[in-house]
A and B are shown apart, each in its own frame.
Chain A
């Protein structure tokens, strides 16, 4: 059975992307896999800031990072819930996943192991100047993935 993968993350979700992924899965007669990626970047940045600038000890910094991650996980469940409802409405098979780690590595690995036919990714809005110097990870996945990749901007 074909599989359509939609990747949502703490740094970006898109109603348009969710809608596209569900409809595409229905059209292709494929199953829908929704991955919500918890990006550690911000939480660990806060941890470093507290340690380096605020000179706060490990315990409060760790508690804070955990609190941020808990909140992100909660938001992940909510987002996956939304996708599930849309998938049920359209009668599409649905599989939710929530993982933590490097965006590109996780997405590429999932595309390979699950034999995904189409991946739908959401990328952050960036100014054109910034885009030139730092490519979005979604763009990089599009170049490296062995399947069709459709990109949407967050919003």
Chain B
């Protein structure tokens, strides 16, 4: 029998072994400390408790030590238990339109992926426009962005990854060495990130922000209104992204003949365009028209859920298929975030937090916008997009009333940059899967991503300053 001896210093071994329990203990102590301390002036007891719950959720969301949805569940449990909101009101917040809209949108996206139409469209576009190394990269970049307008950017990345991988192999590109290989995977990841902010559907984070906005102020943002507001940002970022990528990784191959052979083989493998694909595509098309034309009146969730019903009535999809494509944890995550936002607002904790934290620096509406958009894009590099919104939006909405700002504009300031993580795999699955190919590494991603991070923040602020006034949007009410 052999005896295993760990030769590291004892304090290192103990530190590593005790880190997880110590972390939980620290969280409990912080929570207890915030609850037990004397209530600060100007803050109600309910507000103090809401801040304690907020602090714990913030730590858990940032550390990602438990799944995001479970952290949200924690908020849902503690809010009524500590008497911040009555339990009836807490659970009623789950009925928020945003939760049902996102559920409907995810089911629709699942049906589209299951039918195979998204795959077919992707392959045909690449084959049609990818005739040279340059146009192939552009087609992957724009296609990733375009598909992310209509379905979750993460789902698009998952769908396109095997195709791009096969193209890279078909072209004989060496992982970690080929510039063109890096270009292909960055084009996939950045295209998904940029396209994901273009509509309510891409990152699915905007509906959460709109749901929290509506719950707090009664204001809302329309489907088309949002896309028109961010359109110049998306176009400029796509152009900037392409220029940055080709500058960092100049194209180092002559032709893409073998990639075309890969695409042709895959298209052939799909067979003929099926009725199911036609029908699912048509339902998606009418749903988008419905969101644009009737979203305001009927509600986005109503349109989304009506389309889901149509999918099932016409047997275009089975429940079992949908179950495999939708992660139901999203309901808990979104419901919990909305509960937490409402608890902070209704207890007065949000406005108290603003007064005692950012209130002094964010002296003007312009400054508040720049500050929150910066915090949002910075935090999203290290934590989930939805968690960034859940953490920053209640505080920023508290600031809106103090500075007489339009809360809708502040919602944009959080929701849009929260989707623009170009640097690290931990914030965005699209970057994570690109890195998993081994064609790119985290160092390269951080380097190019940092330039995009600065560019995206600057362009977003310029779009807000120059484009939004033309649409009748301003920092102040």
Q: Contact at B12–A53, with CB atoms within 8 Å? A: no
Please, how many angstroms separate the alpha-carbon atoms of A43 and B333 in the complex? Answer: 24
Contact mask B419-447 → A, CB, 8 Å, 1/0? 00000011111001100111000000000
Q: Does A52 contact B (CB under 8 A)?
A: yes
Q: Does B48 contact A (CB under 8 A)?
A: no
A residues within 8 A CB of B5? Answer: 143
Segment among A21-29, A60-68, A86-94, A95-103 that sits at the interface with chain B: A60-68
The prevalent SS among residues of A at the interface is: helix
Contact mask B348-361 → A, CB, 8 Å, 1/0? 00000000000000
Using a CB-CB cutoff of 8 Å, which residues 18-44 of chain A contact chain B?
Answer: 42-43
Segment among B76-84, B324-332, B367-375, B452-460 that sits at the interface with chain A: B324-332
Contact mask B139-167 → A, CB, 8 Å, 1/0? 00000000000001011001101100100
A residues within 8 A CB of B433? Answer: 46, 64, 68
A residues within 8 A CB of B67? Answer: 51-52
Q: A50-B429, A133-B16 are in contact. Are A56 and B327 (CB under 8 A)?
A: yes
Q: Which of A54, A59, A143 has the most CB of B within 10 A?
A: A54
Using a CB-CB cutoff of 8 Å, which residues 41-84 of chain A contact chain B?
Answer: 42-43, 45-46, 49-61, 63-64, 67-68, 71, 74-75
Residue from the list B8, B106, B113, B154 in contact with A50, Cβ < 8 A: B154
Residue from the list B4, B169, B326, B432 in contact with A57, Cβ < 8 A: B326
A44: shortest Cβ distance to chain B, in Å? Answer: 11
Q: Contact at B4–A64, with CB atoms within 8 Å? A: no
Q: A46-B429, A144-B4 are in contact. Are A56 and B154 (CB under 8 A)?
A: yes
In the complex, the 8 A-B pairs of residues with the closest C-beta atoms, listed nearest first: A54-B154, A59-B324, A55-B330, A57-B325, A67-B162, A55-B327, A54-B429, A60-B158
B interface residues with partner A (beta carbon < 8 Å): 2, 4-5, 7-8, 12, 16, 64, 67-69, 106, 110, 113, 152, 154-155, 158-159, 161-162, 165, 169, 175, 204, 323-327, 329-330, 333, 384-385, 425-429, 432-433, 436-438
Can you list 17 residue pairs at the A/B interface with Cβ under 8 Å?
A: A46-B429, A49-B432, A52-B67, A52-B69, A53-B427, A54-B154, A54-B155, A55-B106, A56-B152, A56-B429, A57-B325, A59-B324, A59-B325, A60-B158, A60-B325, A64-B158, A64-B162
A interface residues with partner B (beta carbon < 8 Å): 10, 42-43, 45-46, 49-61, 63-64, 67-68, 71, 74-75, 132-133, 135, 143-144, 146
